[in-house]
Amino acid sequence: MTIRESKTDSFALLGIGGRVDSLNAETLKGRLQEIGQREARILVDCTALEYIGSAGLGALLVLLKLVRKQGGTLRLFGLSPHIAEVFAIAGFDKLFAIFPDLESARQAAT
Amino acid sequence: MERKDPAGDDRSLLDEVQRLGRENRRLQRAVEELAILNEIATAINSSLALEKILDLMTQRCVHHLRAEQGAVLLLEEHKEERPFQTLCRVGDTSHKRLPFRLDDQLAGWMLTHRAPLLINDLGSDPRFATGVGDLFAVRSLLCVPMICKGRMTGLLAVFNKKSGTGFSEDDQRLLAIIASESAQVIENARLAEKEKTLLRVQEELSLAREIQGNLLPKDTPRPPGYDIAGKSVPAKEVGGDYYDFLVLDGPRLGFCLGDVSGKGLPAALLMANLQAAIRGQALSGTSPTSCLEKVNTLLYRSTSPEKFATLFFACLDTVAHLIHYCNAGHNYPLLLRAGGGTIRLSAGGLALGCLESFPFEESRTELAPGDRLIVFSDGVSEAVNAADEEFGEERIAEIAASDPGATATELIEMILQAVGRHAAGRAQMDDMTLVVIRRE
């Protein structure tokens, strides 16, 4: 699992890559909690995400709740068909704002 | 014949007396050291309890080396930050100002150099010139490493020699012998305590497993014209999967299969909570959606923000042969039609516990003779082999299609065996749970 953080325009850009399983989801949760407390506009790049299990989805859920509490924006983009299916099955596609790529995520109306 | 020089005779006699005196003191010192070592060896071998051994050893060192304070620090494996754990301190209570925390600098120095450290004027020692902090009341110190089978396992230290001269080379030699003689005894005691803790945890886990096993349905319902089976195989002692059968009203039978996020005990506790909530809400007359909406809110209020559960809940009318179902974020169950074709039951909504309220949808479908419904957890479909290739739901459907006459129990076993062959010895990563309903 890799976690990269950078900036683009007014968004914090977060890249999550590799496999997020129950063994490393706690690390991800810790990072996302920290980021969710200081950033209100976040784009999550899932292009390099290969696998995400339920514990990983739980970590993203924590981030979403933190951002919502601040009235902020959280957008995901670059989900592979397999990852998109994992989100859809859990109903997380109804919970998260999901976009095909960085451009569409950045320019979407708030 | 050469005459002896009487003065020379006196000198050599004096030398001899002095030599004997030194030898005598050395022997006396050696006898004392042996007595001390013997006393410590007897003391530490008299107990198996780690804390008692450390306490006895520190007390004896403080006493014999005439120090004001002593400490044993044991090195904790797999801990990069603060690898030392102070397990025992003995101090002279008359010196209230003595610091009771070993400075990290000292522990760090010992870890790097693994050699004895003798300082009789700490205030002016360049190695500890800065950041002495807590060590301000320490004038002199003597510290030796404890090494067991080539690995540094801890350190033994005494502080502030009571007589003015400070610690001597002899003190250092004695403390080093004590440390090396006791390192193995301490290590054995430490391993024995670890094993005891592990055994207790194992016992508690197997109790938890028994409790969880009792939460699963003991009897499988046998409504006329239906063949039903369920099975759950946790990956660890306890798991976050569960299934249940609920008798509703008349010919209506409720059944569900759920998967709580995460693994092990935390997941198992939440699973028990979910099961109780479902049993409390799934009363006669309630629809799957109203049941799940209430359970969702209950679960949301009683869990931490990253926890959620996926659940497939359905009511089967065994007379009208209708299934009303609501799928809260769970892997889509497969409905294999006897006449060919497979339907995935997806209607429902978000996994439970994510949002405080959520408007779930429900759907219904008819069961024709020979139709089979397979509900499973992702531990089955996502079981991976050595090449990280998932078992996949297609294989589940293929196995079912290969033997339309198999009973519900047989089909579950066939699927689990195929998963086992697929994983080919790779450890089970996630709980596996299956419910099969077959209309005869």
- Confidence (pLDDT) at B310: 96
Whether residue B303 lies within 8 A of chain A, CB to CB, comes out as no
Regarding the domain with residue range A2-104, which homologous superfamily does it belong to in the CATH classification?
A: STAS domain (3.30.750.24)
Domain borders along chain B are 29-194, 207-439
- Confidence (pLDDT) at B56: 84
Q: Residue B387's CB: how many other CB atoms inside 10 A? A: 7
Q: What average pLDDT does the segment A74-93 reach? A: 96
**Hey, what CATH topology would domain B207-439 get?**
Phosphatase 2c; domain 1 (3.60.40)
CATH class of the domain defined by B29-194 = alpha beta
| Residues sharing a CB contact under 8 Å with residue B270, sequence separation 6 or more, in sequence order | B240, B260, B262, B299, B303, B307, B309
| Nearest Cα to Cα of residue A48 among A82, A79, A26 | A79
Residue of chain A whose Cα is closest to the Cα of B350:
A91
Asked, colleague to colleague, whether B29-194 and B207-439 share their fold, the answer is no
Burial (CB count <10 Å: 0-12, 13-18, 19+), residue B131: exposed
* Helix ranges, B222-287 (H): 264-281
- Confidence bin at B107 (pLDDT 50/70/90): confident
Chain B CB contacts of A53 below 8 Å: 378, 382, 430
* Phi, psi (degrees; rounded to nearest 5) at B67: -105, 165
**Shortest Cα distance, chain A CAs vs residue B373, angstroms:** 18
- Confidence (pLDDT) at B94: 47
Eight-class DSSP state of B352? B
Whether residue B332 lies within 8 A of chain A, CB to CB, comes out as yes
Report the residue from A55, A59, A90 with minimal CB separation from B351: A90
| Nearest Cα to Cα of residue A97 among A53, A70, A67 | A67
Q: What average pLDDT does the segment B419-423 reach? A: 95
Q: What is the tens place of the pLDDT at every residue in B21-74?
A: 999 988 988 888 888 888 888 877 777 788 888 888 888 888 888 998 888 888
Q: What is the tens place of the pLDDT at every residue in B219-258?
A: 999 999 999 999 999 988 888 999 999 988 889 999 999 9
Least confident piece of the model among B98-107, B327-336, B423-432: B98-107
| Nearest Cα to Cα of residue A99 among A39, A44, A17 | A44
- Confidence (pLDDT) at B144: 94
What is the pTM (predicted TM-score) of this model?
Answer: 0.73
Residues 16-55 of A with CB under 8 A from B: 21-22, 25, 29, 53-55
